[in-house]
Every structure is written in C-alpha cells, then in structure tokens.
Amino acid sequence: MTGVGIENVLVSLVLAAIALAIGYFWKVPVQKNMAVGIIRSFIQLIAVGYALKYVFDLESIWLILMVIIVMILVGSHASYSLSKQVRGAFLISFSAIAAGSLVTIGSMLILKIITFEARFIIPLSGMIISNAMNAAALTINRISSDIRSNSLAIETALSLGKNRRESSRPYRKQAVIAGMTSILNFMKTVGIVALPGAMTGMILAGAEPLEAVFWQLIVVYMLLSSVTISSVIAVELTTEKYFTPYHQLKSKI
Amino acid sequence: MSETNRSESQNPILKAENISLVVDNGGTPKNIIAGFSFDFYKGEIYNILGPSGAGKSSLLRLFNRLDEITRGKIYFNGKESSQYNPCLLRRKIGYLFQTPFLFPKTVKDNLHFVDSSLSDDKMTSMLSEVNLGPDYLLSNVDVLSVGEKQRIALARLFALKSEVILLDEPTSALDEKNSSLLLKLIKNKVSAGGIAAIIVIHDPRQVLTYNGEALLIINGKLVEHGPAKELISQPKTESGKSFLEKDSV
Ligand SMILES: Nc1ncnc2c1ncn2[C@@H]1O[C@H](COP(=O)(O)OP(=O)(O)O)[C@@H](O)[C@H]1O
Ligand SMILES: [Mg+2]
C-alpha cells in the first residue's frame, strides 16, 4: 500500500468514529479530549506536511538551520516548563539539548552517515531533540530534588572535607541514569515487543525490511548519543546552581 | 584547663573578629550573628549556651565555612580563614552535626570516607576510643542505635585529626548514660590531643561536667563569657540571669 492518499485518511476516520461511539456508549470521561484529539492531530500533521514539503522543495541551508533552532528552542521551553523550580532552567535545558543534538547531527554529517539534506536533517533532528528534551527535563528534576532532599548527607560530606563534586557524586549519577532510562529500556526491547515507529513507517512506505532495520539501528545509536550528552550537561549545569565556589550548599535557590 | 592556666604567649587557634551573618528574610535583612568576637585556644573546651534560635548552630557553620560570613574576619592559626582552601580548612576545623548522618553501608566505609588509607587495626583502635568493640567495624550503619551512631560519627570526626572540633548539641538525642559517656570521650580527646572543642550545649547542667569556658549567645550576640561554673552559678548580666533561671526550672 505505497500510494496512500488523503482519501485513505478520510476513510480511516471510520476507526476514529468507532472509538468515539464506544466512548459515548461507555461514557468514557475523556470523550471531549478524544474528539479534540482527532481534529487537532489532523490539522497539526497536515500543516507540518505542507511545511516540510515547502522546506524540502526549497532545500535552503538557512531554512534548515532555522527549523533546527526553532525545534531546539521549543524543546528547551518544554523542558523548562517541567523544571521551573530550578533557577536558570531554560538556559540549562537549552545548553543541554543544543549540545546533545548538534554534536550528534554534526557527527553524523562528518561520518557521512547522512548528507545535509532536509529529508535527513529535519526528521532526525526532530527525533533527537524530542528525546534530548525528555532526558534534560528528567535529569534536571531528579538532581534538583535529590540535592534538596539529601542536604544533610551532602553537607556532612562537605564538612568532612569533600569538594562539591565528590559530595554530589551519587546524586549526579542517579540523575543521569534517570535521564537515560527510557533509551536504555528502548534498546532492551526494540524489535521484540514492537517495531519502532520509524521502522514501521519505512516498511509501510515500501522499503526493504533490512534497510529499515539499518536505519533503525542508526536512529537508536544517534538517540543514545544525544540523550547521554544532554543528560550529562543538564546534571552538571544544574548541580553548579546549588553550590557556591567555596564548596557550600546554597540553602535557598 | 581554665583561662588562667593558659600560657600568655600562646596564640589563639581560632579567632573571630566582629563577625556577622546577615540573611535575606523575605526581602528584609536578618542578623543571625551580630558582631561576634572571641579567641579560642587549644586544649580548652568552650560551651556555647543560649536559647533556641540564638544563632549557635549558625556560628558553628561559619567556623566550618559551610556558610560565608557577611562581615568581619575569622582567623585559623593566624591566617584568615578565607585564605584557606575550604575543603582543607574543614578537615582542620571538624564539625559534628546535631543529627549525625552516616553514609552507607558499614562503619568501615564511614571511616574510610575520611581517610581511605586507614588499616583495620587502626580503625579498631579508633572504635575503642569511642567505646565500641572491634566487631562494629563491619556493622551496617542502619542497624545501629542512636547512641552508637553518634559515637561512630564522633570516631569519624576524630579521624580527621582536626585541631578544632565543633559539636552541635552532641547529646540532645541521647539518654543520660549515653550523654555522659559521649561527653567523657570528647573530654578525653581534648586533653589527649591538645585540641580545642567548641560545643553547643542544650542543657546548662551538662556544662558543670566540665571545667571549661562558657559563652552565652542571645540574638546572635555574645552576651557574656567566663569560666563555665561561674557563668552558670552567678551570671553577671540580666539576660544571662533570666536565661539560666528559665532553663533550670
Ligand atoms: N539560611 C537561613 N535563612 C534565614 N534564616 C536562617 C537561616 N539559617 C538560620 N536561620 C535563622 O537563624 C536563627 C538562628 O538559628 P540557629 O543558628 O539554628 O539557632 P540555634 O542553633 O541557636 O538554635 C533562627 O532564627 C533561624 O530561623
Ligand atoms: Mg542549633
């Protein structure tokens, strides 16, 4: 079923209608969300489709870079809004996400895994940035709540002559693990529990299964790289906020 | 071990010169410590007395440089404390928190936290210094009683080989028997090691177990000081009288 058109999408609305009917019958309390979701996803994706078509047709380097920057800014804002309790969370999120995604995309270009074309850069950046965003938000939240709730342990270590890095080490490690958990779990179960979305999409679009698998492997390693970089940077920058240069834990932040 | 026995030529190991700690209290500045000055000498025990909220813990934190002073100067061994690497200074001016925190998992891990080169024999003798047998070395800290935990924290503090030790209400969570044991251990360390001990004492009656100095702090200010026995039996100031009257009831 390679030549899918808008008529197929309209027909598939029957499935959405079935879901709505069941929701109505069972009085599922999220009926309204279902209806809004059906319309919203339709409009958003069609709009993105046209936008992508425009960008792909133009093939302008500046436009591609602008799209990446906007995606990083939106991702940073999303991560920030999940971790507002940390002062400077936007800048931390931005640095972590930008470093994780730019280093990863840059390496893929240098290693000639991809070329600088919109059809590679944009979808891959989207995946990278959304994963880096989740990793950054999880890491920032974890390290800040761990530092707050373990202040006695940290100050005990400081009072015994440990520096701020040594005193915060166990918490920094746990926070990086928290940021990486979803990609680690993904790698464990990939292909066994379900085929990943990108791979399913390629197979549906008519690609050879092996080609789809190769792309999927590249995607996994690329996500591992960006998530790891983003988590480590997020945890280091957040930890810095909680200490003074004199290895003192800031009581209020 | 009173002030009069000290040789005139000895320099203070720790000196506070008009130190203040001002914190931001919801927009308005609040004086936690207000112009505190005092000289502390080796071989002495200093009892810090004062009502709750007077700034006793805050003062010890400043000496350990867990917080920065707002004004004034602290000297350690004649050199301004801000001139030292904070981590090295903290090992020389050891601090025992009011609620001791022990790291996972064993007693041995906690002693190695301070000095990873300690041998089992050395650690065993350090445990005996706080009245604990050698089999405690491999005990998991989670199974220890409050009194045992406090003594492990004390052994860990002693492992720093500090020249000044700061103890924040070390006996507040202990029963009578454990408190007097702990105070005896501290006293032994001061006389054997020739170090200075600055102890925040909640109960003025415990001060009488020492022949040390006493400092009374109220509202962040040093209200009066002198030999502990004298200060407690005949306070010179009105605020000293009212604090000791209230507390002895
Ligand atoms: N970081 C801080 N910010 C604001 N107030 C503080 C801070 N630390 C301590 N305080 C206040 O300083 C005062 C002295 O506290 P503390 O030194 O713990 O007294 P004490 O040990 O004598 O009971 C208290 O009123 C306390 O609420
Ligand atoms: Mg206190």
pLDDT number for residue B63? 98
- pLDDT tens digits for range B194-248: 899 999 988 887 776 677 899 999 999 999 999 988 898 889 999 888 888 865 5
Among the partner residues A156, A247, A251, nearest to B86 by beta-carbon distance: A247
pLDDT number for residue A27? 85
pLDDT number for residue B179? 84
> Is the Cβ–Cβ distance between A169 and A154 less than 8 Å?
no
DSSP symbols for B193-245: HT-EEEEE-S-HHHHTT--SEEEEEETTEEEEEEEHHHHHHS-SSHHHHHHHH
Best probe residue, ligand 1, of B23, B32, B99 (max atoms within 8 Å of C-beta): B32
| Pair (A116, A184) in one structural domain | yes
Parent domain of A210: 60-241
Would A252 be classed as within a structural domain? no
| Pair (A54, A68) in one structural domain | no
- pLDDT tens digits for range A128-180: 999 999 999 999 999 999 999 999 999 999 999 999 999 999 999 999 999 99
**B168: helix, strand or coil:** strand
B156 vs A160: CB contact, 8 Å cut-off?
yes
| Pair (A118, A235) in one structural domain | yes
Residues of A in contact with B101 (CB under 8 A): 152-153, 156
pTM attached to this predicted model:
0.88
Instruction: Please check the confidence at residue B1 and state whether its pLDDT lies above 60.
Output: no
pLDDT number for residue B208? 67
The predicted model gives A176-204 an average pLDDT of 88
| Pair (A73, A198) in one structural domain | yes
Would A3 be classed as within a structural domain? yes
- pLDDT tens digits for range B8-59: 558 999 999 999 999 988 889 999 999 999 999 999 999 999 999 999 999 9
Instruction: Please check the confidence at residue A229 and state whether its pLDDT lies above 90.
Output: yes
Range A107-123 burial, b when 16+ CB lie within 10 A, else e: ebeeeeeeeeebebbbe
Window 47-86 of B, Cβ < 8 Å to A: 64-68, 86
Show the tokens assigned to B225.
């000081």
Q: Which residue has the tokens 């924290």?
A: B153
**Lowest-confidence segment of A130-134, B24-28, B118-122, B154-158 by average pLDDT:** B24-28
| Pair (A237, A172) in one structural domain | yes
Q: What does pLDDT average to over chain A?
A: 92
> Is the Cβ–Cβ distance between A114 and A120 less than 8 Å?
yes
pLDDT number for residue A115? 92
Among the partner residues A152, A159, A251, nearest to B90 by beta-carbon distance: A159
| CATH assignment of the domain containing A196 | 1.20.1640
> Is the Cβ–Cβ distance between B122 and B142 less than 8 Å?
no
Q: What is the ipTM of this complex?
A: 0.92
> Which of the four pLDDT bands, split at 50, 70 and 90, describes residue B178?
confident
pLDDT number for residue A199? 86
| Pair (A101, A195) in one structural domain | yes
CB of B52 sitting under 6 A from ligand 1? yes
| Pair (A230, A145) in one structural domain | yes
B56 Cα nearest atom in ligand 1? 22
Instruction: Please check the confidence at residue A2 and state whether its pLDDT lies above 60.
Output: no
The predicted model gives A11-36 an average pLDDT of 90
Instruction: Please check the confidence at residue B249 and state whether its pLDDT lies above 50.
Output: no
Residues of A in contact with B64 (CB under 8 A): 159
> Which of the four pLDDT bands, split at 50, 70 and 90, describes residue A234?
very high
| Pair (A100, A176) in one structural domain | yes
**A48: helix, strand or coil:** helix
Would A161 be classed as within a structural domain? yes
Instruction: Please check the confidence at residue B5 and state whether its pLDDT lies above 60.
Output: no
CA–CA gap between residue A151 and residue A153 (Å, rounded): 5
Burial label, A192 (beta-carbon count in 10 A; 0-12, 13-18, 19+): exposed
CA–CA gap between residue B131 and residue B147 (Å, rounded): 11
**Lowest-confidence segment of B61-65, B176-180, B203-207 by average pLDDT:** B203-207
> Which of the four pLDDT bands, split at 50, 70 and 90, describes residue A201?
confident
CATH number attached to the domain at B14-103+160-246: 3.40.50.300
Show the tokens assigned to B123.
């650690």
| Pair (A46, A131) in one structural domain | no
| Pair (A82, A52) in one structural domain | no
